[in-house]
Structure 1
Amino acid sequence: MVARSSEVRPSAVRHNAGAGGRRRRGAGRLAGLGLGGAALLFLLTGCDVGKTFHGFGWPQGGITPQSHRMYDLWIASCIAALAVGVFVWFLIFWCVIRYRKRGNDLPVQTRYNMPMEFLYTIAPILVVSVLFYYTAIVQTDVNKLSKNPDVTVEVVAFKWNWQFNYRDGQGVDANTVASTLGTSEVIPILVLPTGRSIRFEETSRDVIHSFWVPELLFKRDVMPGKIRNVFEVSSLDSEGAYVGRCAELCGTYHAFMNFELRVVSPEEYDQFLAAKRDGKTTQEALTAIGEDPYAQTTAPFETRRTEHNFNPDPAPAGAGR
């Protein structure tokens, strides 16, 4: 006789075999998804994804090491977000197809999948942790200040123009050795050298403005009062002319509160500063180093304040009709 406890039911064998197969298939699917995601990231990092997709909305063509680091962080974050999005979309459509209605019987409503629940819990924590880690590193590097920068510029904003003061040190106690003041007729030009560390110290004479050169990838508020917003770039990589703007709504002519950043070689910068110290205007100093004396990237606001639009009616003032 065969003991009852030793009997093996075929249905139980089939059930155990089926459960083991399902677990193996589930593990295989997860492994396949992981390998697919790794392959996708490998392919994406092998090409210039930012250039292909126009920087995912982030300004391209940065001219400082800080701008390159911020740009790389943004592109990596977009790739990670797309990878997570594609994975979630795949799971949604897979569930729609795999568990679509078959007949009139409802599927089991209490079934759970421990590997998937574990994945949904751990994956977001890992993603957020990695993004936080690299964001903290890049932010710390971008906000870092050196003790003795090569060039210090005081940026003074007012309604609705700019003044750039070249200083001999840091802080409010430093002296201004040369200055450029913008007017309604002439766009102010900020001349800076390549290959040198540059500190910007910002202050406002009236309301809050914002100093923004897209190629620097810095947009810093310019505060009134005793607040001096300070930031620094370790170097400027390429020469050229770059438009600068006020990025904070500051009043009627906010949209026309532009300036130009002119990046030149260190030798030309020294010659420009020497010419300014000798009493030459910014336009004369720029001409002396072979640069265009006026802004190339923007133009003054045309006020059209002429006799033809101020008082077009020849009737004397006070004469009623």
Structure 2
Amino acid sequence: MGRMKLAILAFAVVTLSACSPKGKTDLERLGLPVAGSDRSQPMWELWLGGWIAVLVVFVLVFGLIVYAMIRYRRRSDDEVPVQIRYNLPIEALYTFAPVIIVAVFFFHTVTSQNEMLEKVKNPDHTVEVVGSKWQWGFNYLEESAVAGDSVFEQGTPEDPTELWLPVDESVRFDLKSPDVIHSFWVPEFYFKLDVVPGRVNSFDMTPTREGVFTGRCAELCGLYHSRMIFKVHVVSRAEYDAHLNELKDAGDIGRPVGAKEADTIAGLNEDGEEG
């Protein structure tokens, strides 16, 4: 039985070691989408480690269950097995083993989080993300591509907006909300971050492959939460600049009203008092 469990465990570890965030199938990626940012690797390593830990626990527990079924199955003499009570070593194991498992998970979670939130010294671009009820607004604080002007695009629940990013260039996202808590999430980036009223959360990230992805709100934010979606276009720098100039030609210059409202919490004035 022990050799069988070790064989199964070894097979599982070898199989998982062949997985990759850029694998061609869902199985190779363990259910995750194809990675699309430079911050994907820490999350992938945490995800893979979680699968390995789950398999280890599964093999151990399932093996003990099967062992108990065989070793202590009812026999013809109907003799009741010896009952174990107040066994201090076993009770200590039941207590400390889960604590150790949680501590290891906590350590690797914090390590991955720190790697993913590490800031770029001088990001190539800055995008201000405004999440409100119930739409997204993206303010491109970009001066070089549009002759000194920042531009924006904003959608509605009926007509979701789009976000355009240049591939292989770093972007700083500043997240704001004027009303309720949202969560900015693009699954291909393996990252999400809350958008909290009265607070600016930010993170840096570099898209690493071109494509069109679907972003969404990962926080239950109210009536039209299901419509808090947006398309993400990761394109070449030339296409990115062309899109910003299209926004300028359309008159979407400066910042939308939502960006100003996002600097204060709904129901409070600029001094933080009820108004």
Normalising by the residue count of structure 1, what TM-score does the alignment of the two structures yield?
0.63
Q: Which structure has the larger Rg?
A: 1
Q: Which of 139, 142, 153 lines up with 2:127 in the alignment?
A: 153
Which amino acid is 2:59 matched to? Answer: V
Task: Kindly state the Cα deviation for residue 199 of structure 1 after the two structures are TM-superposed.
Answer: 1.1
Cα 1:217/1:40, change in 2 over 3 Å:
closer
Tell me whether 1:219 sits opposite 2:188 in the alignment.
Answer: no
**Aligned position for 1:70:** 43
Tell me whether 1:84 sits opposite 2:53 in the alignment.
Answer: no
- Once the two structures are superposed, the pairs formed by residues 107-186 of structure 1 within 5 Å of their partners are 107-109=81-83, 124=98, 127-167=101-141, 177-183=150-156, 186=159
**Aligned position for 1:267:** 238
Kept in 2: contact 1:55–1:75 (CA 8 A): no
Which amino acid is 1:262 matched to? Answer: H
Tell me whether 1:41 sits opposite 2:13 in the alignment.
Answer: yes
Tell me whether 1:192 sits opposite 2:161 in the alignment.
Answer: no
- Other structure's SS at 2:127 match: strand
Tell me whether 1:247 sits opposite 2:221 in the alignment.
Answer: no
Task: Kindly state the Cα deviation for residue 178 of structure 1 after the two structures are TM-superposed.
Answer: 1.6
Task: Kindly state the Cα deviation for residue 90 of structure 1 after the two structures are TM-superposed.
Answer: 1.2
**Aligned position for 1:232:** 204
Cα 1:261/1:274, change in 2 over 3 Å:
same
Paired positions, count: 245
What 5-or-longer segments of structure 1 have no aligned partner?
Answer: 1-28, 170-174, 284-321
Alpha-carbon distance in 1 for matches of 2:131, 2:217: 9
Kept in 2: contact 1:209–1:222 (CA 8 A): yes
Which amino acid is 1:280 matched to? Answer: D
Cα 1:113/1:106, change in 2 over 3 Å:
same
Cα 1:152/1:243, change in 2 over 3 Å:
same
Kept in 2: contact 1:165–1:176 (CA 8 A): no
Cα 1:111/1:247, change in 2 over 3 Å:
closer
Cα 1:240/1:114, change in 2 over 3 Å:
same
Kept in 2: contact 1:166–1:179 (CA 8 A): yes
Cα 1:156/1:99, change in 2 over 3 Å:
same
Alpha-carbon distance in 2 for matches of 1:251, 1:39: 45
Cα 1:282/1:39, change in 2 over 3 Å:
farther
Alpha-carbon distance in 2 for matches of 1:117, 1:34: 25
Cα 1:107/1:132, change in 2 over 3 Å:
same
Identity %: 42
| Superimposed CA distance per residue, residues 150-196 of structure 1 (whole angstroms, 9 cap, x where no aligned partner) | 11100112222222111259xxxxx9722122246653221110111
Which amino acid is 2:54 matched to? Answer: A
**Aligned CA-pair RMSD:** 3.7
Alpha-carbon distance in 1 for matches of 2:209, 2:223: 34
Task: Kindly state the Cα deviation for residue 132 of structure 1 after the two structures are TM-superposed.
Answer: 3.2
Alpha-carbon distance in 1 for matches of 2:132, 2:100: 46
Alpha-carbon distance in 1 for matches of 2:38, 2:160: 27
Task: Kindly state the Cα deviation for residue 65 of structure 1 after the two structures are TM-superposed.
Answer: 2.6
Alpha-carbon distance in 1 for matches of 2:87, 2:134: 63
Task: Kindly state the Cα deviation for residue 265 of structure 1 after the two structures are TM-superposed.
Answer: 0.9
- Other structure's SS at 2:163 match: strand
Which amino acid is 2:16 matched to? Answer: L
Cα 1:125/1:150, change in 2 over 3 Å:
same
The structure carrying a bigger helix percent of its residues is 1
What 5-or-longer segments of structure 2 have no aligned partner?
Answer: 253-275
- Other structure's SS at 2:216 match: strand
